[in-house]
Amino acid sequence: MSDQLYQERIVALAKAKTGAGKLASPTKSARRDNPLCGDRVTIDIRLDDSGHIVEMAHQVRGCLLCQASASALSSVAVGRDSAGIAELRHEAERAIGREEGEASEPFSAFTPLRAHKARQECVLLPFEALRDALS
Amino acid sequence: MSFDVAAVRRQFPILSEVIDGQPVHYLDNGASAQTPDAVLDAVRKYETTGRANVLRGVHRLAERATESYEKAREEVAAFLGVEPMEIVFTGGCTAAINLVAYAYGSLLKPGDRILLSELEHHSNIVPWQLLRSRSGVEIDMVPVTVDGRIDLEVLPRLITPRTRLVSLAHVSNVTGALIDVRAVVEMAKSVGARVMLDGAQRAPHGPLDLPALGIDFYALAGHKAYGPNGVGVLWAKPELLDAMPPFMGGGSMIGRVTFAETTWAPPPRRFEAGTPPIGPAIGLGAACKWMQALDWTAAHAHEMALVQRLMDGLQRIDGTHILGPASLQNRYPVVSFMLDGVHPHDVAQTLDSFGVAVRAGHHCAQPLMDRFDLDGTTRVSMAPYNDNTDIDALLTGVVHAAKTLR
């Protein structure tokens, strides 16, 4: 084997399935497809009056990287508004090498993606869906 | 006679490449095949000793270029068993199908019907949908069987007197299934419908006798048939080429241009507007010549032995399922599979770390994925230069994916 994209932390995030499922009565929902690979993410969120996420759930029909990203995002999204989620996206972008600097937990798990540009969209797809849900 | 795969491999320089200390196990031939020295040499010869535009130049380089380009047309025609003037060079297989959808499609009337199948590549679906929105033709769809073949039992019910064209994959780019051309042609002709085959996945596996198939149109891709990128072929019966208006306008495809009226050149020139892909066409001609020199009885037996080795190996791995025919009958060396609990992209990515190149995803066949409620498959597509080490490396990688990712 020549590299280790699927390191234990990424696999563990995917298997944890944090936030996997649907919300009974979401304030908003959004679905994003990646037409290149067919990955599909649906995000449900419940917001409070000030636009902060109270509850979030995701359904992923996609690869392990997309599942891991949705799981990581779900683990830290509650309590944030759209500006807070945008900050998390910067963390993810730093992890995969699209922005300068080191990423914090849990997104630092995605640093092996720096060597796999073709798969980076898989990590960002849940962020795209959540941004749509928040807009 | 045994097949000397080592001798074939030596003709493909890229197969000696080592990436991150690993040999290349190239099993993504259905997406793009690799290119032998014979093709590289032909392109280099054109670029270094005969590069010029074709047809209108009077200088010696232009004459060389034109001669090489037309020789390529002859080589492609010989490979397909047809006349050179029936060969249209296009930008690719997709361009060839679009050409038919536009030019032949312009002869159709609202209410005329086009018959496609559920396993078609998007390139044999979307051009017809575009035609439908332009001209009001209707599209019918033949379903596929559980083993990934076009369901010919259903076909008679879908062919009507309004069916003008049946356009199907000669070999599925997902399941590897070979269509029963004779049965399709017989049913189509019973209502006077034309038949087009998308030959992208069949052409790389040996010469064809298109007139014997009884079809009307055939499309293929150069880069899948060991040729360069940027060139494809449309073959059509001469009376159809004569009847069809141009697809694109520009230089070379005209008879006489005035602002009042323009007349068209005869085929194939009518369908080759502008400067054609000269170097790629010359390369494709060389690829066809290379393919014709191969012993395809032995090569096909070799390819199918690889398919058997692959299918046997996959069946020994818990949780694998093959999408496509289980037998070797009427199939070509394209094998799609699923691994329970592991997404196809993760299988393919794991295989890459073992030096194995495959394709994963919907393979531009989303209706087929919907039919089986799949996100995608991992597709192994073979060529005569593949050998047992390629299959064994792949199986090792699948076992690793099964162990670590689920």
Q: Quick one: pLDDT at residue A35? A: 80
User: Which tokens sit at B137?
Assistant: 């033709």
Confidence (pLDDT) at B1: 56
pLDDT at B389: 98
Where does the pLDDT of residue B229 fall: very low under 50, low under 70, confident under 90, or very high at 90 and above?
very high
Each residue's pLDDT tens digit, A58-85: 999 999 999 999 999 999 999 999 999 9
Domain boundaries, chain A: 8-134
Judged by a CB distance cut-off of 8 A, whether residue B349 touches chain A is: yes
Q: Give residue-wise pLDDT tens across range B62-96.
A: 999 999 999 999 999 999 999 999 999 999 999 99
In chain B, residues 206-245 whose CB comes closer than 8 Å to chain A? none
Q: Are B279 and B47 contacting, i.e. CB atoms less than 8 angstroms apart?
A: yes
CB burial class (10 A; 0-12, 13-18, 19+) of residue B405?
Answer: buried
**pLDDT, position A4:** 80
Mean pLDDT, range B40-68, rounded to an integer: 95
Assess whether pLDDT exceeds 90 at residue B59.
Answer: yes
User: What is the pLDDT, as a whole number, of residue B193?
Assistant: 98
Residue with tokens 């241009």: B257
Residue B332 has pLDDT above 90, yes or no: yes
Contact B194, B53 (CB under 8 A): no
Q: How far is B361 from chain A (nearest CA, A)?
A: 6
Taking an 8 Å cut-off on Cβ atoms, the answer to whether A63 and B345 are in contact is yes
CATH topology of domain A8-134: Sufe protein. Chain: A (3.90.1010)
Pick the CATH number of B40-292 from 3.30.420.40, 3.40.50.2020, 3.40.640.10, 3.40.50.300: 3.40.640.10
- Cβ neighbour number for residue A29 with a 10 Å cutoff: 16
Partner-chain residue, chosen from B19, B354, B375, that has the shortest CB–CB distance to A62: B375
Q: What is the pLDDT of residue B219?
A: 98
pLDDT at A1 over 90: no
**pTM for the full predicted model:** 0.94
pLDDT tens digits, one per residue of B140-170: 999 999 999 999 999 999 999 999 999 999 9
The answer to whether residue B2 scores a pLDDT higher than 90 is no
For residue A2, the model assigns a pLDDT of 63
CA distance B39 to chain A (A): 30
In tens, the pLDDT along A10-68 reads 999 999 999 999 999 999 999 999 887 888 999 999 999 999 999 999 999 999 999 99
ipTM of the complex: 0.88
pLDDT of residue B288 exceeding 70: yes
- Tell which CATH architecture fits domain B295-404: Alpha-Beta Complex (3.90)
When pLDDT is averaged across residues B36-64 and rounded to a whole number, the result is 95
Mean predicted lDDT score pLDDT of chain B: 97
Mean pLDDT of B35-42: 98
Q: pLDDT per residue over A85-105, tens digit each?
A: 999 999 999 999 999 999 999
Percent share of chain B, pLDDT over 70: 100
* Inter-residue contact B86 to B235 (CB < 8 Å): yes
Quick: pLDDT tens for B236-268.
999 999 999 999 999 999 999 999 999 999 999
CB contact under 8 A, B376 and A11: no
Choosing among B25, B345, B400, which should be mutated to test the A contact, i.e. which has the most A CBs within 10 A? B345
Say yes or no to pLDDT of A3 above 80: no
B19 to chain A: nearest residue by CA?
A: A2
Averaged pLDDT score across all residues of chain A: 94
Query: Which of A37, A40, A116, A125 is best to mutate for the B interface (most B CBs within 10 A)?
Result: A37
Question: Residue B375 and residue A38: Cβ atoms within 8 Å?
Answer: yes
Can you give the residue ranges of every domain in chain B?
A: 40-292, 295-404
- ∠ Cα A68 A71 A73 (to 5°): 110
Q: How confident is the model at residue B55 (pLDDT cuts 50, 70, 90)?
A: confident
